[in-house]
Amino acid sequence: MPSKVAIIMGSDSDWPALKACYDTLKTFDIDVEVKISSAHRSPGETATFASDAKNNGFSVIICAAGMAAHLAGVVAAHTTLPVIGIPMASGALQGVDSLLSTVQMPPGIPVATVGIGAPGAKNAALLAVQMLALADGDLAKKLDDHKVSLAAGVAKKNAQLQKDLQ
Ligand code: RP5
For the Cβ of 65 lying below 6 angstroms from any atom of ligand 1, the answer is: yes
Tens digit of each residue's pLDDT (9 = 90 or more) over 58-106: 999 999 999 999 999 999 999 999 999 999 999 899 999 999 999 999 9
pLDDT band at 2 (very low <50, low <70, confident <90, very high): low
pLDDT of residue 163: 98
Phi, psi for residue 103 in degrees, rounded to 5: -80, -25
Q: Does the C-beta of 87 come closer than 6 Å to ligand 1?
A: no
Phi, psi (degrees; rounded to nearest 5) at 8 = -115, 135
Measured distance CA(152)–CA(133) in Å, rounded: 22
C-alpha distances in angstroms, 62 versus 37, 83, 161?
12, 6, 37
Q: Is the CB of 14 within 6 Å of ligand 1? A: yes
Atom of ligand 1 nearest to the CA of 10: 4
Ligand 1 centroid distance, CA of 72 (Å): 14
Ligand 1 within 6 A of 94 CB? no
Pocket lining: 97 vs ligand 1, CB cutoff 6 Å: no
**Residue 3 binned pLDDT confidence (cut-offs 50, 70, 90):** confident
List CB contacts of 165: < 8 A, sequence separation 6 or more.
Answer: none
Contact 20, 75 (CB under 8 A): no
Residue 1 has pLDDT above 70, yes or no: no
pLDDT tens readout for residues 96-143: 999 999 999 999 999 999 999 999 999 999 999 999 999 999 999 999
d(CA 5, CA 29): 11
